[in-house]
Structure 1
């Protein structure tokens, strides 16, 4: 019996077994090739569901915190914060603050230098201040008055009665209790508002005890009242030649 006949005889003998093995191999190959990517997709879906579930829990916690806040209180405080820490380079409020301090304390302000080019020019370089998104405005000024007026001036300057001001140096000439000449250098500050409010799942800022104490002080500040011009007042004629 030659080799070919022997092979044919053995093939017929094990034909069913070989065919079954071939089918099993094909099924396994197709399962791996076609189903394995689907298993990866299913796993990714489960992971995404887990992340979404955690994010939903965080959003519910955030919602609970936001609902518990007093909207009116924070709205009023925001207005007062803009009074002492404006969002732009507002030098008008600096003049107003020093005018008020001079009027209340009786001190005489003999010189002010707010570097108006730096303050009023939008393209000027920003100098980083003491906190995130807070920038410096260099200022210097000189006052003349009595010792009592000097005390009251310093007290009001640091009492959130106007802009937040940090004094870097003081040079003073004590002539008598009724006559003190002092020169100050320091910084006022401003903080631009963010260009966006962030994503909905952005964590809320944490207000520590110092922040809470500061918020309490700000809440006790007097309200800012803007004068409104009555539009009913006649300011002139539309026709210059009309009697």
Structure 2
């Protein structure tokens, strides 16, 4: 069971000011839409006694949010203390490249560390053996705890995986012109099999059951690296 604590007042302001200063990556969920993006806090300011947050606006936010009568947004981030924080806002407005939202009434701190599923670089592949054959799959998203995979387009050898199938000796290869970026997973289990709503192709949610300490550290470092590269492309972090 996990403990949670509500943070409000000056402590909440100090917490988000530190997150802004450290350029901590924040996951933004637009409630009522299947919409999740990475962003950062760009400003915290008070005007006429009202404190507001400014969030860097993802490029497709306006199009997705325009049909909503009111904007309910949930924000989540992992602090430098390795604890998970979340808060919700209602309303707000867009100005330029920023989303301005009311400062939350409270921030919830959860005594656990949640893993964000990152969309890896295009061309990231997973290799494993199943039914006496070696297979290659496309990775749609990945975290330290698992991955969502699908068949490589045009691959004639498509493995038929089912929930609870155990896979061993997997490798994840990230595309790179300069070096080999590879993580080996000793064992994984298929947790769910779903259909892509657009293509009707199978997608498989994997949970990593066994990962060595060395490979786990490599995975964490690569995920952090790709997060930073993602934000650099949007010119949010210094080069």
- TM-score scaled by structure 1? 0.18
Higher strand proportion: 2
Structure showing greater relative contact order (alpha-carbon pairs closer than 8 Å, 6 or more residues apart): 1
- TM-score scaled by structure 2? 0.19
Higher helix proportion: 1
| Rg larger for | 1
